[in-house]
Amino acid sequence: MSPDVHIVIPARYASTRLPGKVLLDLGGQPLLQRTWSAASNSGYEVWVAVDDARVQSAVEAFGGRSLMTPSELRSGTERVAYVARHRAWPADDIVVNVQADEPFFPPSYVGQLVEPLVEDPSLGMSSLACRIDQRDQIFSEHCVKVVCNLRGDALYFSRAPIPWVRGGMAEERAPSGFYLRHIGAYAYRVGMLIQLADLPEAPSEVSESLEQLRALHHGISIRIRAVDSAPPPGIDTPADLERARALLSEHSQR
């Protein structure tokens, strides 16, 4: 019997670069609603982990399910774990974490995240990646790279170019498709998620500002499933929001 699957969207109101971004308008709907709709199209149950009454009211207005989480939680992972605990989901159930600022997240990616955990009951966590073909992305700190072993388990994530091509980076000899771009969505077995949320931060996690490094630091494997392409980048700045509005307008005219 397959485990039940739940989707949780951690939605903080505060944002350093774009305050209240989850409630900003995107084509006549809050950004969060766009993400919630995309996640709901996967066919699985969706919960929103909120930390502010304004966000909770917005979720109720568009018909979603929400749970208020403590403001002192440090990360989206901890908010997702809080929902799993509060809902008392069984340890073998699967929880998918979808970022709140991903309005164009493909619903099919939920299945791609879930599959490795269904296929291998010993796994506790999975994520996604795609090939990088644009050289500027290799050097961009906003494009997170991942290196995997033969099983497809992540060895390390970094904002730096990894693996480094000795003597080839400056001369543009890095082969096309050699690099993997990490896509920041995760599936966890509930038991592993709760364990992960209780672990202390890792030095690499703090240095790179990448939550997933906590798992690797503490010996938790993350199976990476390859997909054809990444969704448009998340929304962190006013310029990102304008690009998302233009993309939504383009899609609506097709």
Contact of 178 with 138, CB cutoff 8 Å: no
Residue 177 lies in a domain: yes
Q: What is the pLDDT of residue 135?
A: 84
Query: What whole-number distance in Å separates Cα of residue 120 and Cα of residue 176?
Result: 31
Among the ranges given (43-52, 63-72, 151-160, 235-244), the one the predictor scored with the smallest mean pLDDT: 235-244
Average model confidence (pLDDT) for the chain?
A: 92
Question: Could you tell me the pTM of the whole model?
Answer: 0.93
Residue 248 lies in a domain: no
Average pLDDT over residues 17-43: 94
Q: What is the pLDDT of residue 198?
A: 95
- Per-residue pLDDT reduced to its tens digit, 185-219: 999 999 999 999 999 999 999 999 999 999 999 99
Judged against a pLDDT cut of 70, whether residue 46 lies above it is answered with yes
Residue 200 CB coordination number (10 Å): 8
Looking up tokens 């690797």, which residue turns up? Answer: 216
Contact of 147 with 140, CB cutoff 8 Å: no
Q: Give strand pairing partners of 147.
A: 156
Judged against a pLDDT cut of 90, whether residue 11 lies above it is answered with yes
How many Cα atoms sit within 13 Å of 251 on the Cβ side? 11
Residue 247 lies in a domain: no
- Can you read off the two tokens belonging to residue 62? 């568009």
When divided into structural domains, the chain yields a total of 1
How many Cα atoms sit within 13 Å of 79 on the Cβ side? 29
Q: What is the pLDDT of residue 233?
A: 79
Contact of 46 with 7, CB cutoff 8 Å: yes
Q: What is the pLDDT of residue 226?
A: 95
Q: What is the pLDDT of residue 24?
A: 94
Radius of gyration of the chain from Cα atoms?
18
Residue 163 lies in a domain: yes
Give me the CATH number covering residue 28: 3.90.550.10
Residue 254 lies in a domain: no
Query: What whole-number distance in Å separates Cα of residue 201 and Cα of residue 218?
Result: 9
Q: What is the pLDDT of residue 231?
A: 86
Residue 213 lies in a domain: yes
Judged against a pLDDT cut of 60, whether residue 173 lies above it is answered with no
Q: What is the domain range of residue 154? A: 5-227
Longest dimension (CA), the chain: 56
Judged against a pLDDT cut of 70, whether residue 253 lies above it is answered with no
Comparing C-alpha atoms, which of 15, 96, 38 is closest to residue 232? Answer: 38
Looking up tokens 């997909």, which residue turns up? Answer: 227
